[in-house]
Structure 1
């Protein structure tokens, strides 16, 4: 099996001798948050947690991307929370990039190691700890679950990427695949989280233009990404944040694989009034 790599920020602070110029950008259609911006000075902490800090890389913004928030959480040994989620309407997706965490839900403990994923339904009674001697890091994607007639909220599950086979996109000769954590046939899910993989030379051969909002965190490799009218170089540790209908495409020139963790909102009517 091909070895997997998950880039994880460690913070720190640049020296006074470093140039100010960087690749960070925020436009009406997209934002690029490079790995070099994830420094100690821009971390946040949450009440009710111990031994944690986080980088907030997406949050709902009126007129931009409005459906989700995304954090990169760094958790020290023994750190965690008995009340991690304070919004009863929020569902969560967790993806571990370094170390391990123990997620307890309804009194049952589940250990997530690197590559581990968990879906946490809205209203769940859960807690999270780092039981190991090393620092852990994970992505936490949050979205308000949107109900629909005849559907109940999705059920809790955990899985590790290494136990899943990617679905190869047709006509790509194995160069473009998606590892799907949610079952696309299960319409109770109104968000999908996947890992997208491009082999060297792989491409999205058209400018995707669609209603889904995206968060794309680069786990491995580098590529040039088409965002609106711009071609932007991105690499492991960078985050791309796309509002609805932002044209997008990709060319992975190599030398290694290009992989990213992807969020998108799916499977629901478009709200005509604000969600409550």
Structure 2
């Protein structure tokens, strides 16, 4: 079980005296969006949302990562949407990092607090409101669901990270573990959103090079992350966006755990001829 404090941006604007040198980087293989770039002036507004703004961390780009988009939403008390999604193909994961969410999903009402996780199938009826006196902040990961003949679509569900037992990676004495919200053998799901935890000093001991695209938002701690040919320092609030086959590894620097919210596409044949 986790007692972590999840990092979430609060906006603002750097002073005129701020140096322009930063860790922000966009390459042909990966992007790093440091927490300091998430200011007021880079937020977006969306149709049918009130008292809400969004930091768009990633979106499908031809020739880069194409399967998903990821936002951080900030909803002021009483705000929200009764029509949050305008694309009927879009499935979603919502992960709360601060505040309280009142979520209506497929006819059922849920209250989500920090660590709250909801899976929203494509075409589901849902709405949400921010409750209490604190702004609601949550991650919203969207993907066009890829149905497969003979497989039912997955059903909606709501849980909390505290209800999920992390799965340790073999041979790591629990120093590297993953909190999985979906059974890895459930092929109805075409994306996984998990939380990966490294204890201080733990590593990914090889350069992972694979077909899955990634979005990695650092919830807690710091590390040195290998991205393609570069080693990059990252900390809580930073976002990494990786295209398929970008080599990756990391070394958790401490003094506390290094934890991130991870997206990847799974369980589907590779599209041929450019069509998904």
- TM above 0.5, yes or no, is yes
Where 1:206 maps in the other structure, the secondary structure is coil
Q: How far 1:3 sits from its partner (Å)? A: 2.2
Deviations for 1:48-93, whole angstroms, at most 9, x for unmatched residues?
0100001000000000000000000000000000100111010000
Higher deviation after alignment, 197-206 or 101-110: 101-110
Q: How far 1:163 sits from its partner (Å)? A: 1.0
The residue that corresponds to 1:32 in the other structure is 32
The residue that corresponds to 2:198 in the other structure is 198
Alignment check: 8 A CA contact 2:151 2:188 kept: yes
Q: How far 1:185 sits from its partner (Å)? A: 1.3
Q: How far 1:215 sits from its partner (Å)? A: 0.1
The residue that corresponds to 1:71 in the other structure is 71
**Matches of 1:28 and 1:165 in 2, distance apart?**
36
Q: How far 1:188 sits from its partner (Å)? A: 0.3
Q: Does 1:81 align with 2:90?
A: no
* C-alpha spacing 1:85/1:74, structure 2 compared with 1 (3 Å): same
The residue that corresponds to 1:189 in the other structure is 189
> What's the TM-score once normalised by structure 2's chain length?
0.98
Alignment check: 8 A CA contact 2:91 2:144 kept: yes
The residue that corresponds to 1:125 in the other structure is 125
Q: How far 1:100 sits from its partner (Å)? A: 1.1
Q: How far 1:250 sits from its partner (Å)? A: 0.5
Alignment check: 8 A CA contact 1:145 1:153 kept: no
Q: How far 1:108 sits from its partner (Å)? A: 1.7
In the TM superposition, what are the counterparts of 1:243-258 in structure 2 within 5 Å? Answer: 243-258=243-258
**Matches of 1:107 and 1:240 in 2, distance apart?**
35
Q: How far 1:261 sits from its partner (Å)? A: 0.1
In the TM superposition, what are the counterparts of 1:26-175 in structure 2 within 5 Å? Answer: 26-175=26-175
Q: Does 1:260 align with 2:260?
A: yes
Q: CA RMSD in A?
A: 1.0
**Which stretches in structure 1 are left out of the alignment for 5+ residues?**
none
Alignment check: 8 A CA contact 2:2 2:161 kept: no
**Matches of 2:83 and 2:2 in 1, distance apart?**
37
> What's the TM-score once normalised by structure 1's chain length?
0.98
Where 1:41 maps in the other structure, the secondary structure is helix
Where 1:77 maps in the other structure, the secondary structure is strand
**Matches of 2:254 and 2:131 in 1, distance apart?**
37
**Matches of 2:20 and 2:156 in 1, distance apart?**
44
Q: How far 1:25 sits from its partner (Å)? A: 0.2
Where 1:207 maps in the other structure, the secondary structure is coil
Q: How far 1:2 sits from its partner (Å)? A: 5.0
Where 1:188 maps in the other structure, the secondary structure is coil
Superposed structure 1 runs of 4+ greater than 2 Å apart: 273-276
* C-alpha spacing 1:89/1:275, structure 2 compared with 1 (3 Å): farther
**Matches of 2:182 and 2:161 in 1, distance apart?**
12
Size of the aligned set, in residue pairs, is 276
Alignment check: 8 A CA contact 1:227 1:247 kept: yes
